[in-house]
Amino acid sequence: DTEVTQTPKHLVMGMTNKKSLKCEQHMGHRAMYWYKQKAKKPPELMFVYSYEKLSINESVPSRFSPECPNSSLLNLHLHALQPEDSALYLCASSPSTGTSSGTQYFGPGTRLLVL
Amino acid sequence: GQQLNQNPQSMFIQEGEDVSMNCTSSSIFNTWLWYKQDPGEGPVLLIALYKAGELTSNGRLTAQFGITRKDSFLNISASIPSDVGIYFCAGYTGANSKLTFGKGITLSVRP
């Protein structure tokens, strides 16, 4: 099973709202990732968690707050977003980080629209 | 910096034709990954390559890890309409744990 699940599939929120994106994997992977993707562009890395600890933050604005409650779950808390934050948000997981064990499997994404 | 070059941006082929796309870099990569993405969905891993010279197949797809470690190619044989999508190459250089992506090639298949 190489499945990463994400909820919700679609999300519309106002600029004053607080919402959360959820990601889950049951492959025993110890690395999990959040990406942001604009139309027809490659995914852009936001955060990396390795063994439930935040290891990389790509200078993401504080209105995005990641959380890794356990090795299977990854959340992205959203607050006071801007319309330019509208995008497809992808979660991915890999056995570990690094070249030989870093093969990433992506979830289906959450399509976010900020009004 | 580490960049992966994928050209052209779009490819148009006839159903039943074979197509080859490559990915090049000026940096050495230790792992090459090929993904396909359908509109509104997440990228799906097609093939992973871990050794220079490695040739791997997945059904009608074949990919190779270049011996210089600076390139990789993906071949699709006997294309079908469901091959339509964006094909991304990606890789690790070993310098850090970040995956570098190419800009992607949009494939269209005419029936």
**Which tens digit of pLDDT belongs to each residue from A45-97?**
999 999 999 999 999 999 999 999 999 999 999 999 999 999 999 999 999 88
Q: What is the b/e burial string over A35-65, where b = at least 16 CB atoms within 10 angstroms of the residue's CB?
A: bbbeeeebbebbbbbbeeeeebeeebeeebe
User: pLDDT by residue (tens digit) across A1-43?
Assistant: 669 999 999 999 999 999 999 999 999 999 999 999 999 999 9
Phi/psi at A88 (5° precision) = -95, 125
The better pLDDT of the pair A98, B66 is held by B66
Would you place residue B97 in the very low, low, confident or very high pLDDT band (cuts 50, 70, 90)? confident
Phi/psi at B83 (5° precision) = -75, -10
Nearest to B64 by CA among B47, B79, B77: B47
Name the average pLDDT for chain B: 95
pLDDT for position B50: 94
pLDDT for position B1: 57
Query: Count of CB atoms within 10 A of residue B77's CB?
Result: 14
Kindly report the CA angle at A91 between A86 and A95, in degrees rounded to 5?
A: 160
Distance CA B48, CA A55 (A): 24
User: pLDDT by residue (tens digit) across B16-70?
Assistant: 999 999 999 999 999 999 999 999 999 999 999 999 999 999 999 999 999 999 9
pLDDT for position A98: 75
pLDDT for position A1: 60
The helix (run of H) or strand (run of E) holding residue B14 is: strand B10-14
CB contact under 8 A, B102 and A42: yes
CB contact under 8 A, A56 and B42: no
Question: For chain B, what percent of residues have pLDDT higher than 90?
Answer: 90
The better pLDDT of the pair A86, A98 is held by A86
Asked if B71 and B86 touch (Cβ cutoff 8 Å), the reply is no
**Which chain A residues have a beta carbon less than 8 Å from that of B94?**
98-99
Tell me whether A70 touches chain B (CB under 8 Å).
Answer: no
Token code pair at residue B7: 């050209």
Distance CA B4, CA B10 (A): 16
Measured CB to CB, residues of chain B less than 8 Å from chain A are: 30-31, 33, 35, 40-45, 48, 50, 86, 88, 90, 92-94, 97-99, 101-104, 106
Distance CA A45, CA A30 (A): 17
